[in-house]
């Protein structure tokens, strides 16, 4: 036991020394991390002090008069009949976005990697990246114009094909599919960046050897490109699983109405209404904290599963 403890201390000391040497050697690269570290420290970690509100009956007019209530806010959260449909909607929308939307950037990256015209490839990449830089405020306005029941371009197209006027934005049947399609449209181009970076790191000699052996582009993609980017795909999948309860507040808040609360009301919009509109800050903080805890558990679980199946995890 004493030898194991001594070995662990030595290993830890060695790792610390190695890390410090790397930081000194690549100090300018580490210097570039400072803005990111400051961002997370100021906007992610400092606000964690406010989580104590979830265990209090918070008085927003006089915080000093707030009283500790323990887990009462969480009991209240799970006992509310309105919360379970909200949780169901969040999980359903997030899973649909993950299942349908996650493979698309991978497929796009693989397809665009095989483009022969470099100029066409760059133009295509630029056009695919553009929607990512359009805020949901602007994009929601465009979507509402296209789906206008009377004059919308897409609505008119559907009417010409089916003879029906579909009111997508107020339909419980079509609202969620519209969310999935628009979310994929906005994020698929930006999602290819990591995969392009992973593809660029593949040794060109592998393709040359495969070409000499008679392998065509399709077999090269399946046997070289795809297996080489699997670690990147796994890491991205783990990160996306951590966002399983983030169904997209900006998108839904800009597009939904009371007509589709039944299928589109999610935890984030629920927290917004309970916290800012109803001024129940303790209850909304408890709901937000529940979402964060679930995300943390999912990341740890999926990461362990990935490592046990022979893939690289986040840590």
pTM of this structure: 0.79
Confirm if 187 and 132 have CB atoms less than 8 A apart. yes
Per-residue DSSP letters for 248-312?
-HHHHHHH--GGGHHHH--HHHHHHIIIIIS--HHHHHHHHHHHHHHHHHHHHHHHHHHHHTT--
Residue-level pLDDT at 2: 45
Element (H, E) at 68: strand 67-68
State how far the Cα of 169 lies from the Cα of 155, in Å rounded to an integer: 11
Residue-level pLDDT at 8: 55
Average pLDDT of the residues of the chain: 84
**Does the structure show a pLDDT above 80 at 276?**
no
Alpha helices in the chain (DSSP H): 2-25, 27-31, 34-40, 72-79, 83-101, 103-113, 118-129, 136-146, 153-162, 175-200, 204-212, 217-220, 226-228, 230-242, 249-255, 261-264, 267-272, 281-308
Count CB-CB contacts under 10 A for residue 280: 20
Element (H, E) at 57: strand 56-57
Residue-level pLDDT at 7: 59
Q: Is the dihedral of CA 128, 130, 133, 137 positive or negative?
A: negative
State how far the Cα of 194 lies from the Cα of 233, in Å rounded to an integer: 9
Q: What is the DSSP letter of 74?
A: H
Reported as a single tens digit per residue, the pLDDT across 128-178 is: 888 888 889 999 999 998 888 878 888 888 888 877 778 888 888 889 999
- Collect contacts of 51-60 with beta carbons under 8 A, ≥24 apart: 51/285, 51/289, 53/281, 53/282, 53/285, 54/282, 54/285, 54/286, 54/288, 54/289, 56/282, 57/282, 58/281, 58/282, 58/285, 60/279, 60/281
State how far the Cα of 244 lies from the Cα of 265, in Å rounded to an integer: 15
State how far the Cα of 176 lies from the Cα of 168, in Å rounded to an integer: 9
Distances (CA, A) of 20 to 16, 30, 45: 6, 11, 24
pLDDT above 90 as % of the chain: 8
Distances (CA, A) of 168 to 91, 153, 156, 165: 21, 13, 12, 9
Q: Where in the chain is the domain with CATH 1.10.3720.10?
A: 72-308
State how far the Cα of 297 lies from the Cα of 138, in Å rounded to an integer: 34
Reported as a single tens digit per residue, the pLDDT across 43-72 is: 888 888 888 888 888 887 887 788 888 888
Reported as a single tens digit per residue, the pLDDT across 203-249 is: 888 888 888 888 888 888 888 888 888 888 888 888 888 778 888 88
Mean pLDDT of 298-305: 81
Confirm if 270 and 83 have CB atoms less than 8 A apart. yes
Of residues 250, 267, 253, the one with CA closest to residue 187: 250
Q: Where does the pLDDT of residue 182 fall: very low under 50, low under 70, confident under 90, or very high at 90 and above?
A: very high
Task: Look at 1-5, 43-47, 281-285 and tell me which has the smallest mean pLDDT.
Answer: 1-5
Class of domain 72-308 (CATH, top level): mainly alpha
Residue-level pLDDT at 312: 67
172: left (phi over 0), alpha (psi -120 to 50) or beta: alpha
């Amino acid at each position: 036991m004493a030898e194991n403890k001594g070995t662990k201390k030595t290993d830890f000391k060695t790792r610390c020394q190695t890390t410090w040497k790397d930081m000194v050697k690549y100090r300018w690269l580490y210097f570039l991390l400072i803005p990111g570290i400051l961002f997370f420290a100021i906007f992610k970690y400092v606000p964690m002090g406010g989580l104590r509100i979830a265990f209090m009956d918070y008085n927003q007019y006089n915080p000093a008069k707030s009283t500790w209530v323990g887990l009462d806010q969480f009991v209240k959260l799970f006992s509310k009949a309105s919360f379970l449909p909200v949780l169901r909607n969040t999980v359903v929308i997030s899973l649909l976005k993950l299942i349908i939307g996650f493979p698309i950037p991978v497929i796009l990256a693989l397809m665009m990697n095989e483009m022969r015209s470099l100029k066409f490839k760059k133009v295509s990449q630029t056009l695919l990246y553009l929607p990512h830089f359009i805020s949901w405020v602007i994009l929601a306005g465009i979507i509402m114009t296209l789906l206008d029941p009377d004059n919308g371009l897409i609505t008119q197209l559907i009417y010409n094909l089916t003879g029906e006027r579909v009111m997508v934005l107020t339909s419980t049947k079509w609202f969620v599919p519209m969310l999935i399609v628009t979310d994929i449209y906005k994020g698929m181009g930006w999602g290819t960046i990591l995969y392009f970076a992973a593809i660029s790191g593949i040794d060109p000699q592998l393709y040359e050897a495969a070409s000499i052996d008679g392998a065509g582009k399709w077999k090269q993609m399946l046997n070289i490109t795809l297996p080489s980017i699997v670690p990147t795909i796994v890491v991205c999948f783990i990160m996306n699983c951590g966002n399983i309860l983030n169904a997209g507040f900006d998108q839904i808040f800009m597009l939904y109405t009371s007509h589709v609360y039944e299928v589109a009301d999610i935890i984030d919009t629920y927290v917004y209404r309970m916290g800012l509109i109803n001024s129940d800050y303790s209850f909304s903080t408890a709901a937000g904290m529940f979402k964060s805890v679930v995300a943390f558990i999912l990341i740890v679980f999926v990461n362990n599963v990935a490592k046990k199946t022979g893939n690289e995890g986040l840590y």
